[in-house]
Homo-oligomer: A and B are copies of this chain.
Amino acid sequence: MMNAQPLQEDGALEERMFALGARARAAAVTVRNAAPEARTAALVAMGERLREAAPAILAANREDVARAKDLAPSFVDRLRLDEARLEGVARAVEEIAGIPDPVGAVAGAWTRPNGLRFERVRTPIGVIGIIFESRPNVAADAGALALRAGNAVILRGGSDSAASVAAIGTALRLGLQDAGLPEDAIQIVPTTDRAAVGLMLGGLGGAIDVIVPRGGKSLVERVQAEARVPVFAHLEGICHAYVHAGADPKKAVAITLNGKMRRVSVCGATETLLIDRAIAPVLLPSIAAALTEAGCSLRGDEEARGLAPMKAAAEEGDWRTEYLAPILSVRVVPGLEDAIAHIATYGSAHTDTIITEDKAAAEEFLRRVDSAIVLHNASTQFADGGEFGFGGEIGIATGRLHARGPVGAEQLTIFKYVVRGDGQIRP
Contact = CB atoms under 8 A, between A and B. Distances in A.
Contact of A372 (B248, B382, B417): B417
Interface string A97-132: 000000010000010100010100001011000000
A110 B401 contact: no
Given A399-B230, A416-B370, A417-B372, A255 B377 contact: no
Interface in A380-419: 381-382, 384, 387-389, 399-402, 404-405, 414-419
B104 A367 contact: yes
A418 to B, nearest CB: 5
A248 B425 CA distance: 14
A61 interface: no
Contacts of A73: none
Contacts of A112: 387-389
Interface in A237-259: 248, 250-251, 254-255, 257-259
Given A125-B400, A210-B400, A419-B382, A424 B377 contact: yes
B414 A400 contact: yes
Contacts of A404: 414-417
A33 interface: yes
Nearest to A364: B33
A374 B418 contact: yes
A127 B287 CA distance: 39
Contact of A400 (B104, B209, B228): B209
Contacts of A422: 251, 377
A419 B378 contact: yes
Contact of A402 (B254, B257, B401): B401
Contacts of A228: 225
Contacts of A400: 125-126, 209-210, 230, 414
Contacts of A248: 423
Top 9 A-B residue pairs of the complex, sorted by shortest distance between their CB atoms: A378-B421, A258-B425, A402-B402, A381-B426, A251-B423, A378-B424, A375-B419, A209-B400, A401-B402
